[in-house]
C-alpha cells in the first residue's frame, strides 16, 4: 500500500499527481486518466488483510454510489479493485471540507450553517429515495466552495466498507461522536441515523464541540446512549431558538422523534432559515432614554 501511494505511480490506469486528502483508512490523490488526461480525485482504500466480504462490500458500495447523480453529491465516475487496493475515481471538487469550521475560533454564522444543512438534507432526501443511507455524515464528508455557493456530500455508504474490513477486530467503527445510539448499539443504519449524524454535525459547527465528548470510547458510548445532548443555547446563547430546537430534535435518542424523512427535514431547515433571516433584518429596539 505505502509503495503505491506516491505521486507518479499508476493505479488502474490513473497517474497519481499529488495528495489532496488523507484519512485513517484512505488517501485521496489528484490524478489523471492516462487514456485522455481527464482529471479526477482518486480515492484509494486499503483492503490488505481483509476477506472477500470486505471486497464485496466495497464493490457494492461503488455500484450504489455510481447510481447517485445529484448536484449535492460528489459523483463517482468509476471504481474497482486492483490488488489490495479499492479505488474510486470521483469528480474533482473545489473547496474544502467543513472540518476547518468546527473550531471555536472559526465558527460559521448560523444562517450559513442552515444553508449548508439544507444542501446536505436535499442530497440525503434524494439518496434515501434511492435506498442509499450515507452512514457517516460528519464535517469531513461535507465539501464547500463558497465562491460558487456549492456544497457537496462525499463518501456515501463508504463506512460499510470499513465495517466489513474490520468486523473481526471487535472495534466500534466509523465516527462514534456522530453516530446515533441505535447505530452504536449495532442496529442497521437508517435515514433516521443519518439525521442524527447531521444533528451532531450542526451542533459542532454551531458550538465548536460535539454534543457528547469523552476521553475513553466506553464513556463516550455511555453518554451517547443515556445522556441528552446539551442545549445549544447554553453553549452559544446567540443561536436562534428554532435552530437549537431543530438540532435537539435531530439528536433525539428515539429515531421516531427525528424528522420523518429528508423532505420533512428540508422543510424544517427552510423554516428555521426564514426565522433567522427575519430576525437578522429586524431593526434593533432603541434603548430607553
CATH assignment at residue 139: 1.10.510.10
Containing domain of residue 50, as a range?
10-90
Give the neighbor-by-neighbor strand order of the sheet with 96-97: 96-97, 142-145, 150-153
At which of 64, 90, 116 does a domain end? 90
3 state SS of 226: helix
CA distances from 173 to 24, 25, 94, 136, 198 (A): 11, 11, 29, 10, 18
The beta strands (E) that lie in 47-192 are given as 76-82, 85-90, 96-97, 142-145, 150-153
Q: Do 103 and 234 have their domain in common?
A: yes
pTM score, whole prediction? 0.87
Length of the chain: 289
pLDDT of residue 17: 96
pLDDT of residue 156: 81
The beta strands (E) that lie in the chain are given as 10-11, 14-22, 26-33, 39-46, 76-82, 85-90, 96-97, 142-145, 150-153
Cα–Cα distance measured from residue 14 to residue 12, given in angstroms and rounded to the nearest whole number = 6
At which of 90, 111, 136 does a domain end? 90
Enumerate residue ranges in the chain where pLDDT < 70.
1-4, 157, 159-174, 277-289
Q: Do 45 and 159 have their domain in common?
A: no
Residue 1 lies in a domain: no
Q: Do 145 and 257 have their domain in common?
A: yes
Domains in the chain, number: 2
Question: Contact, 202 vs 119, CB < 8 A?
Answer: no
Q: Do 44 and 144 have their domain in common?
A: no
Cα–Cα distance measured from residue 67 to residue 130, given in angstroms and rounded to the nearest whole number = 8
Find the CATH number of the domain harbouring 54: 3.30.200.20
DSSP state of 94: -
Q: Do 190 and 261 have their domain in common?
A: yes
Q: Do 60 and 131 have their domain in common?
A: no
Residue 32 lies in a domain: yes
Q: Do 203 and 112 have their domain in common?
A: yes
Could you read off the pLDDT of 90-105 as tens digits, one per residue? Answer: 999 999 999 999 999 9
At which of 72, 90, 108 does a domain end? 90
Q: Do 209 and 118 have their domain in common?
A: yes
Active site residues: 136
Residue 286 lies in a domain: no
φ/ψ bin of 114: left (φ > 0), alpha (ψ from -120 to 50), beta (otherwise)? alpha
The angle, 0 to 180 degrees and rounded to 10, between the axes of the packed helices 159-166 and 52-67 is: 170
DSSP state of 216: S
pLDDT of residue 279: 58
Amino acid at each position: 500500500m505505502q509503495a503505491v501511494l506516491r505521486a507518479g505511480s499508476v493505479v488502474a490506469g490513473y497517474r497519481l499527481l499529488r495528495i489532496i486528502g488523507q484519512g485513517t483508512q484512505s488517501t485521496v490523490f489528484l490524478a489523471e486518466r492516462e487514456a485522455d488526461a481527464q482529471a479526477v480525485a482518486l480515492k484509494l482504500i486499503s483492503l490488505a488483510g481483509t476477506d472477500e466480504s470486505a471486497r464485496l462490500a466495497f464493490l457494492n458500495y461503488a455500484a450504489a454510489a455510481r447510481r447517485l447523480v445529484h448536484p449535492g453529491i460528489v459523483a463517482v465516475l468509476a471504481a474497482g479493485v486492483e490488488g489490495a487496493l479499492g479505488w474510486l475515481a470521483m469528480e474533482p471538487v473545489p473547496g474544502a471540507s467543513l472540518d476547518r469550521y468546527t473550531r471555536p475560533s472559526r465558527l460559521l454564522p448560523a444562517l450559513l450553517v442552515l444553508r449548508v444543512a439544507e444542501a446536505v438534507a436535499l442530497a440525503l432526501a434524494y439518496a434515501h429515495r434511492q435506498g442509499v443511507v450515507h452512514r457517516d455524515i460528519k464535517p469531513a464528508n461535507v465539501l464547500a466552495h463558497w465562491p460558487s455557493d456549492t456544497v457537496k456530500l462525499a463518501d456515501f455508504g463508504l463506512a460499510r466498507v470499513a465495517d466489513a474490513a474490520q468486523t473481526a477486530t471487535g472495534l466500534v467503527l466509523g465516527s462514534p461522536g456522530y453516530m446515533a445510539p441505535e447505530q452504536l448499539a449495532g442496529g442497521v443504519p437508517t435515514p433516521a441515523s443519518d439525521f442524527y449524524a447531521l444533528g451532531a454535525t450542526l451542533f459542532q459547527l454551531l458550538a465548536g464541540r460535539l454534543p457528547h465528548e469523552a476521553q475513553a470510547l466506553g464513556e463516550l458510548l455511555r453518554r451517547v446512549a443515556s445522556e441528552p445532548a446539551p442545549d445549544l443555547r447554553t453553549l452559544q446563547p446567540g443561536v436562534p431558538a428554532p435552530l437549537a430546537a431543530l438540532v435537539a430534535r435531530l439528536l433525539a435518542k428515539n429515531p421516531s422523534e427525528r424528522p420523518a424523512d429528508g423532505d420533512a427535514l428540508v422543510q424544517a431547515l427552510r423554516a428555521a432559515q426564514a426565522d433567522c433571516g427575519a430576525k437578522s433584518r429586524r431593526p434593533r429596539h432603541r434603548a430607553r432614554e
